Structure 1
């Protein structure tokens, strides 16, 4: 169960404003700028392979994850000080109440979606942030995803469309069917049955290593579809799914619609595609990933003191793919 915390920051005004209407673009850009400075200091695989306990989402936490989250929460503290009340849901800290949590407004954030890529100096990892007016994916109102590798900035407001670097984003591909399909959570034992199910239906598969980025790739027609090979969390997909939907793509959680919770304890598969027919195809294949493969080995992770890097001879702890 994710632990609920309370922020000590006091609001600067007696009445909370509408969080959905806040200037999220500028707030998120400040987060991105500070994170870029962090990444420039933490260069190299060794520097980024330092662990710092276990986050509320259940994964072993990298120190760079924690520091990225500190940057995001510093900006959220400023928003609360400006009079906004909300609950933040984050992979590392869990649920944190900023003022009155009874208004139902939530900020769902993954400061570093694609931690393994970041640790291994692979360029595809992102900041993913969503603002919701209610408890489900259908209630997400604002979404922001920044791809630190390409510098792409994705943004969407519910009912107002999606954009990439300020230009309208449309989920349109070249019209060749499932030419390129993204898959996330690509452990071999879960990937193989999915690939078998897509034989003759998909032309090529790609694994980016960030659910948020993969959803945005569908939004821009770079992927014809995407799917997860293991159950995801709300922080992984909340922003990307709104961007994809506002761009015109079809999105489904748990093989169905958007009626899934935003709490950190929830787990579900996500799939998206440029149209309903392609979505149905990847959903059918995704069912094979939902079944635990026969003989699948669950690796026991070694315990090590917080703040130490993993030795080369040890298998690394599980971190967000």
Structure 2
């Protein structure tokens, strides 16, 4: 049961995550949607091509986290570009995606985010704090295990379902074009479909209920979802893979992948899962 009271230690991490977000925003503001920003400079630890936008964002984020660690908060960082960075302790582990929705960022589309989470152990169930910032709008989402989920600092209460019984009013999807056919049973149940291009923002809006059901049909990195998964859990929602298997024991790492199905309304998750199984 969420208490809505954030412990001082968790608040300290949220404060440094805010500092990271501000630093990343400043570092990337002139690179979003530019040729300079999408210039390839290498391959990151996650296997994707690293562009100048990624480099600038990660460098800014690691600088802020390094200062925090040096001030008496040792940790490690797992970042999409750099991999594991030792800042004085194995745990806690800061999971960092400095530019989630990188295609949007490179193309200048206004849905891209910084995602951070804090894990005390190796699995999704060990994530204690989750934090996401929309780099364009400035909208901030966070969750603290046992203390609730929040949108711009206000407690998050999911919107109730708006569709007719047996229907999904707004279905949110993150997918490559070739994988969309795997979600046809959900499309048949949905009135409207949204593809945001950022898993971190998709799951955050799923926790808010604006996206009633969210689905990812390809093997996506669990890494990118960790903050949002905690948000959904804290509002009483359900998240599984497309087969209905829990993700709580899934390892948090760059190499670990899964499909995704979730909703802040457990009944809608059940409806979607039944549709996929039929």
TM more than 0.5:
yes
Q: 1:285 to 1:63 in 2, by over 3 A?
A: farther
Deviations along 1:243-277, one digit per CA (max 9) or x if unpaired, are 12112221124641111001221111222112233
1:31 corresponds to 2:33: no
User: Which residue is 2:240 aligned to?
Assistant: 252
Provide the rounded CA distance (Å) in 2 between the counterparts of 1:114 and 1:72: 17
Provide the rounded CA distance (Å) in 2 between the counterparts of 1:19 and 1:271: 33
Task: Tell me the TM-score normalized by structure 2.
Answer: 0.89
Q: How far apart are 1:150 and its partner, in Å?
A: 2.2
Matches within 5 A, 1:1-321: 21=10, 23-101=12-90, 104-176=91-163, 177-184=167-174, 186-194=175-183, 196-253=184-241, 255-257=244-246, 258-283=248-273
* Cα pair 2:187 2:193 within 8 Å, conserved: no
User: Which residue is 1:9 aligned to?
Assistant: none
Deviations along 1:85-109, one digit per CA (max 9) or x if unpaired, are 22211110111222232xx421111
* Cα pair 1:183 1:228 within 8 Å, conserved: yes
Aligned pair count?
A: 267
* Cα pair 1:171 1:244 within 8 Å, conserved: no
Q: How far apart are 1:51 and its partner, in Å?
A: 0.8
Q: 1:287 to 1:64 in 2, by over 3 A?
A: farther
- 5+ long unaligned stretches in structure 1: 1-17, 289-321
- Report SS of the residue matched to 1:171: coil
- Report SS of the residue matched to 1:106: strand
* Cα pair 2:34 2:106 within 8 Å, conserved: yes
Task: Tell me the TM-score normalized by structure 1.
Answer: 0.77
Structure number with greater Rg is 1
More strand by share: 2
Provide the rounded CA distance (Å) in 2 between the counterparts of 1:78 and 1:121: 30
- 5+ long unaligned stretches in structure 2: 1-6
Deviations along 1:184-233, one digit per CA (max 9) or x if unpaired, are 1x222111231x22243121111001111011101111100111121121
Deviations along 1:107-164, one digit per CA (max 9) or x if unpaired, are 1110110000000000100010000111111111011100123221011110000111
User: Which residue is 2:4 aligned to?
Assistant: none
Provide the rounded CA distance (Å) in 2 between the counterparts of 1:158 and 1:64: 31
Q: 1:31 to 1:189 in 2, by over 3 A?
A: same
Q: 1:237 to 1:19 in 2, by over 3 A?
A: farther
Q: CA RMSD in A?
A: 2.2
Q: 1:115 to 1:266 in 2, by over 3 A?
A: same
